[in-house]
Structure 1
Amino acid sequence: MARDYYEILGVRREATKDEIKKAYRRLARELHPDVNPDPLTQERFKEVTQAYEVLSDPEKRRMFDMGADPFAPGGGAGAGGFGGAGFPFDDIMNAFFGGGQTAGRAARERARRGRSIKVRVELDLAETAFGVTKDITFPTAVLCGTCQGEGTAKGSHRETCDMCAGRGEVSQVTRSFLGQVMTTRPCPQCSGQGTVIRNPCPDCAGEGRVREKVTRTVQIPAGVEDGTQIQLAGEGEIGPNGGPRGDIFLEIVQRPHPIFERRGDDLHCTVTVPMTAAALGASLTIETLDGNETIDLRPGTNSGQIITLDGRGSRHLNGPGRGDLMIHVTVETPSKLDEEQENLLRKFAELRGEDHPPGKFSPGQGGIFSRLRGAFNTR
């Protein structure tokens, strides 16, 4: 026998099964290869795991206490020794670190994590720009108030499965040309849970949770955009049998605004002014997210010009400051004039020498025929 397994785990020879399990969990988390990849530490980790495999099994522990080697050929653990046939190394790793290598291990975990859910949150532009505290209501799975997650009826409790003695799995030893091979599978009676419910809770049917609508108060940060997702860790559905909660993902949906279009943290809008105001200049009252503001339209403003109001856009999500408000100017030309207006406008055109305008063409912006002619000339 290589070493004293009790000494390896640092427990008394009279240690209970729970004490052995706690000692192994502590050492395994400290020595696991994902935490400490040092080769010497990995050897120590294998040694600790081998000790736990022997001392956690009543039959193997009895053999060890009698002086027999459980890993010797014919000793009850298979001919391969540590990591060989019959040694459930993957089962032990999955039990403590959530691995998925052994079929049915997930079924043997009675308390499983709850499902994460997605909740759509509709907000106005000002709410996404400045942030808001919002009450959201959604259906989810919550702890059963009758059985407090146990799944049993009042006055009753879960009972240890008599088929697997509470281990959640059953083993079968067969002989092959390799020696004795131990096959482990989930217990068919308790579905790998180790316990059975004789009298299930009438409200949750033994699941330990019920579905209902709940309301949560959440803080939406300033600067979120349409499509932004916010994760609320541990606020989702509670798992079966009192398992930990999943997450909530809030999906932000921004309602269309009648005036502003948001592009990043900047806001854009269009203001239409008559040609007289564009020519002579004017003072305009503009609506912003901060209230109404007055801006000066310079004389000679052309259609398509942009007036920028700094810091009147949305707040930045990941930093101080705000975007800008971009005002796009459209100059409106009158389509209907009475006789007096038309005469005045013609007189104005004569004064400016624009009663017979020749028209101005910029390079590359001629009519369709000039573009076709240019295309043929390039050949």
Structure 2
Amino acid sequence: MSEDFYEVLGVSKDASEDDIKSAYRKKAAQYHPDVSDEPDAEEQFKKIQKAKEVLTDEEKRQAYDRLGHERFEQAEKRGGTNGAGGGFGGAGGFGGASGAGGFEDLFNQFFGGGGGGRSPNRPRQGRDLRTSMSIDLEDAYEGVTKQFSVTRPETCPDCDGKGYPPEATVQTCPECNGQGQVTQVQQTPFGRVQQSTTCRRCGGDGEIVDEQCSTCSGQGQVRSEASLSVEVPAGIRDGQTLRMEREGAPGENGGPNGDLLIDIEIRGHEDFERDGDDLRYDCPISFPQAVFGATIEVPTMDGKVEFDVPEATQSGETFRLRGKGMPRLRGRGHGDLYVTVQVVTPDSLNDDQRDALEAFAEAGGEEVDVSEGFFDKIKKSF
């Protein structure tokens, strides 16, 4: 076969396993020799079976992506398994033991694999899904229950995830007897080795159907919007992730759902800047307050509190209010609030204020030239 396996199924190289299986079902329904009138139906059916077998096997797909189509087929031929996937057990992906299955199958045979590998019909957990949620700093401080909606895959309600309608004719695959795998026994220099491969007739499903579910196009899943509720704990930080168990994609063959991961984004706050569990606040004060000291009010996440500014406070000084920061996630207590004072120079002065400042400057031995912008000099000094 010279066609790229992704092209055979009509999927992209980053297609998920579910996408590959869905594409396979559509192609199989089109080219199955029992139903297709295409002159090359049998050959096309073999191609799509082979493509599905490789691309739904994690190890084979990695080798295929690494080597490319031609080198992958050459490596399989060197393994002597007639396309059954052997020959990849050795270094560099080109197989160590010639003949059936290579060393990987020998290890499966002697160390619990039983030569059969993992059944394609085994229950498998669904994929984890990821979404994001934006919250306010107040929500992160107090903790909150958030309602949100997410569009996600869910089990098709019309076919219950089977991929075919109730009236479809379902037959047990005669080639694998419903096992989804066929077993080959081959003679090697190490003795008889048993190897199981995905059944070409049913693609590993164990069943053959004559009709696909029109709602999910045979995939067994549909996308729908779900309304959920999540508990956001107090103290959560920007960029942290919440996990909602079993709210992800549905599992296969009776396997459990995956999980839903929620990335938390905390919006900026007009007053506070967060630093871990601490908060920072820039507080404006007047020149007299900085010189003489004062009791002022500063905001916290719990409301305003009084704070004593000591005498001779310099612009840019920082003071700590213990326990006024964010709650510690899964811990005790709170972080601190750091208040940085900024002395604010007024935009304008009345005559009394100007006279007082001139007298203040002269008392300090400064030469005051009002005509050249005394007020501007005062502002620059801060």
Quick check: TM above 0.5?
A: yes
Q: Does 1:255 align with 2:267?
A: yes
What's the CA shift string for 1:322-349, capped at 9, x where partnerless? 1111111011234654554333212122
Alignment equivalent of 1:355, drawn from 350, 360, 366: 366
One-letter code of the match for 2:270? P
**Secondary structure of the equivalent of 1:249?**
strand
Alignment equivalent of 2:251, drawn from 239, 242, 259: 239
Name which of structure 1's ranges 165-174 and 333-342 shifts more when overlaid on structure 2: 333-342
Q: Does 1:213 align with 2:225?
A: yes
Match of 1:132 in 2: 144
Distance, in Å, in 2 between the alignment partners of 1:171 and 1:200 is: 28
Q: Does the CA-based 8 Å contact 1:137-1:214 persist in structure 2?
A: yes
Inter-CA distance 328–84: structure 2 relative to 1 (3 Å threshold): closer
Q: Does the CA-based 8 Å contact 1:237-1:247 persist in structure 2?
A: yes
Shift of 1:235: 1.7
Q: Does 1:196 align with 2:208?
A: yes
Shift of 1:184: 3.0
Q: Does the CA-based 8 Å contact 1:149-1:242 persist in structure 2?
A: no
Match of 1:16 in 2: none
Inter-CA distance 283–84: structure 2 relative to 1 (3 Å threshold): closer
**Secondary structure of the equivalent of 2:158?**
coil
Inter-CA distance 223–94: structure 2 relative to 1 (3 Å threshold): farther
Distance, in Å, in 2 between the alignment partners of 1:187 and 1:196 is: 11
Q: Does the CA-based 8 Å contact 2:108-2:115 persist in structure 1?
A: no
Q: Does the CA-based 8 Å contact 1:86-1:182 persist in structure 2?
A: no
Distance, in Å, in 2 between the alignment partners of 1:175 and 1:94 is: 13
Match of 2:345 in 1: 333
One-letter code of the match for 1:328? T
Match of 2:196 in 1: 184
What's the CA shift string for 1:205-249, capped at 9, x where partnerless? 233221111111110111110011122222211124553211111
Q: Does the CA-based 8 Å contact 1:150-1:242 persist in structure 2?
A: no
* Unaligned segments of structure 1, at least 5 residues: 1-82, 96-101, 358-379
Match of 2:331 in 1: 319
Alignment equivalent of 1:145, drawn from 136, 142, 157: 157
Distance, in Å, in 1 between the alignment partners of 2:279 and 2:297 is: 17
Distance, in Å, in 2 between the alignment partners of 1:87 and 1:273 is: 76
What's the CA shift string for 1:125-144, capped at 9, x where partnerless? 01112211011211111122
Inter-CA distance 221–181: structure 2 relative to 1 (3 Å threshold): closer
Name which of structure 1's ranges 293-302 and 118-127 shifts more when overlaid on structure 2: 293-302
Match of 2:65 in 1: none
Match of 2:293 in 1: 281
Shift of 1:254: 0.5
Match of 1:268 in 2: 280
Distance, in Å, in 2 between the alignment partners of 1:232 and 1:297 is: 47
Inter-CA distance 166–331: structure 2 relative to 1 (3 Å threshold): same
Q: TM-score, normalised by structure 2?
A: 0.62
How much identity, in percent, do the aligned residues show?
34
One-letter code of the match for 2:267? R
What's the CA shift string for 1:160-215, capped at 9, x where partnerless? 21111112222344556666554432101111222233333222223322111111
Shift of 1:270: 0.2
Match of 1:290 in 2: 302
Distance, in Å, in 1 between the alignment partners of 2:236 and 2:114 is: 42
Q: TM-score, normalised by structure 1?
A: 0.62
One-letter code of the match for 1:118? R
Name which of structure 1's ranges 221-230 and 197-206 shifts more when overlaid on structure 2: 197-206
Match of 2:173 in 1: 161
Q: Work out which of the two has the higher radius of gyration on C-alpha atoms and give 1 or 2.
A: 1
Q: What's the C-alpha RMSD, in Å, of the aligned pairs?
A: 3.1
Match of 1:118 in 2: 130
Distance, in Å, in 2 between the alignment partners of 1:224 and 1:85 is: 50
What's the CA shift string for 1:43-93, capped at 9, x where partnerless? xxxxxxxxxxxxxxxxxxxxxxxxxxxxxxxxxxxxxxxx99798457846
Name which of structure 1's ranges 175-184 and 323-332 shifts more when overlaid on structure 2: 175-184
Match of 1:226 in 2: 238
